[in-house]
Each structure stands twice: as C-alpha cells, then as structure tokens.
Chains A and B, each alone.
Chain A
Amino acid sequence: DIQMTQSPSSLSASVGDRVTITCRASQGISKYLAWFQQKPGKAPKSLIYAASTLQSGVPSKFSGSGSGTDFTLTISSLQPEDFATYYCQQYNNYPLTFGGGTKVGIK
C-alpha cells in the first residue's frame, strides 16, 4: 500500500497568513493526488484533484502543486472559514490512502 505522510500534523496561523501543507507519498503517484477540507462535525469537502486542479466552486486562494512523491497545498491568505483539518489522498493505486491530516488552528 502507498503511505501518505502529511506535515505538519497541526499548525497555528493568523488571518491573512499564507499557509503551506506538504504531503509525501511512499512511492511515485504521478499527479493522482487530491486534497480535502474537513470542519468539525462535517463531511469532508473536495478541494483539489490531479494535484493542482480546483474542484468547481473552490476559491482560487487554494492552490496545489507537485508530482511524483512530493506535493503541497497552499492557502494564499487564511480566512476564518479556512480553519479546518486538511487531508491529502492518493488515487493512483488501490487501496486508496489518505494522509493523517493537518489541523489548521487559530494563532
């Protein structure tokens, strides 16, 4: 199985900050990488697929990059509604696997 490792596991940031989350795959997955946002008590929301393609309706303050084994999710200017947990997921091979999550909290 492909292991997905996210870092950091948590971070504290202020409104307006630029935030970057990294995700590393245990083997190459090309660009078959997705990002999700989850708020407490809510279902996950799909943000990005194919490493850098925004899902419909997702604001452009979110961006993704990377290929192979190393990927990043960037939030250009953190807003109050962005405080949440973010997960990466590889869909190159089954079983599909998720990273452990990065909790973005308020500083």
Chain B
Amino acid sequence: EVQLVESGGGLVQTGGSLRLSLRLSCAASGFIFSNYSMNWVRQAPGKGLEWISYISSSSDIIYYADSVKGRFTISRDNSENSLYLQMNSLRDDDTAMYYCARGIRNRAKDPFDYWGQGTLVTVSS
C-alpha cells in the first residue's frame, strides 16, 4: 500500500525576525521511491490548493512557485525514502497545510496520484 506521511509542521512565531526556518519531511512507503517524482502542495486555511515545488526522481530537475522561490528548498533522499522541504524566511502567508504528492511517472508533465495527509504550518507574528 502506497503511504506518504508528512511531519515537521508546527507553530513558528516570527517576533519580527525574518530568519525563522522549518523543515518538513514526507516519509514514503509501499513503492520504489526512487522511481517517482514528488511535489509539495499547500492549502491556506479556507483557501484552495497551491502547488509550490516539484523534484524529479533523481533530483536533477527542480521547480518552484514564485511565491516560495529563494526561500524554500525541496530535496529528497532516495536511500531513506524521504522527501523534504526546507522553509526559510517564513512569513505569515506561509501558514497552510502542506501536502506531499507523488507523480504518476517520472516525466516532465507528471500528474499526481497519491497524496499524504498533510502537516500544518502556522506562522504568527
């Protein structure tokens, strides 16, 4: 059974600082992780879905949404069957549920099939 389990979310209080960081993880099981591309998608409270980042199976192709480019970094460790999102310079509008989602095939135009249950990130000043 394919499973994606996110972790690492929580409450981050900025207190005026722009240097606060958080690292999200997505643990994969039930499939050969190294064969599939992966994505991060977020959803602010009461809002719609926003794609934020893509990584190919071998990490050679990476894309970001403009809203996170330069602040967030996607990575993966195929030996650990894990996907990561390093989030720096967090802002109030980064408050959201963060989901990881698997690509069906490791191709440039890759639809999603499985999603994790999400991890909540709350940024408060």
Using a CB–CB cutoff of 8 Å, the interface residues on chain A facing chain B are 32, 34, 36, 38, 42-46, 49-50, 55-56, 87, 89, 91-92, 94-101
Contact = CB atoms under 8 A, between A and B. Distances in A.
B109 A91 contact: yes
A94 B48 contact: no
B17 to A, nearest CB: 28
Contacts of A56: 113
Nearest to A50: B111
Given A43-B118, A94-B54, A89 B49 contact: yes
Contacts of A89: 49, 51, 112
A105 to B, nearest CB: 16
Interface in B91-120: 99, 101, 104, 109-118
Given A34-B112, A50-B111, 17 more contacts: A32-B111, A34-B111, A36-B49, A36-B112, A42-B117, A43-B116, A44-B49, A44-B101, A49-B104, A87-B49, A89-B112, A91-B109, A95-B51, A95-B64, A96-B54, A98-B48, A101-B48
Main secondary structure of the interface of A (DSSP, over half): loop
B115 A46 contact: yes
Contacts, number: 59
Contacts of A96: 39, 51, 54
B50 interface: yes
Interface residues of B, number: 24
Interface of B: 39, 41, 48-51, 54, 63-66, 99, 101, 104, 109-118
A96 B103 CA distance: 12
A87 B50 CA distance: 11
Nearest to B54: A94
A45 B66 CA distance: 25
Contacts of A45: 115
Contacts of A98: 48-51
B109 A44 contact: no
A75 B112 CA distance: 21
A45 B69 CA distance: 26
Contacts of A36: 49, 112
Contacts of A87: 48-49
A46 B118 contact: no
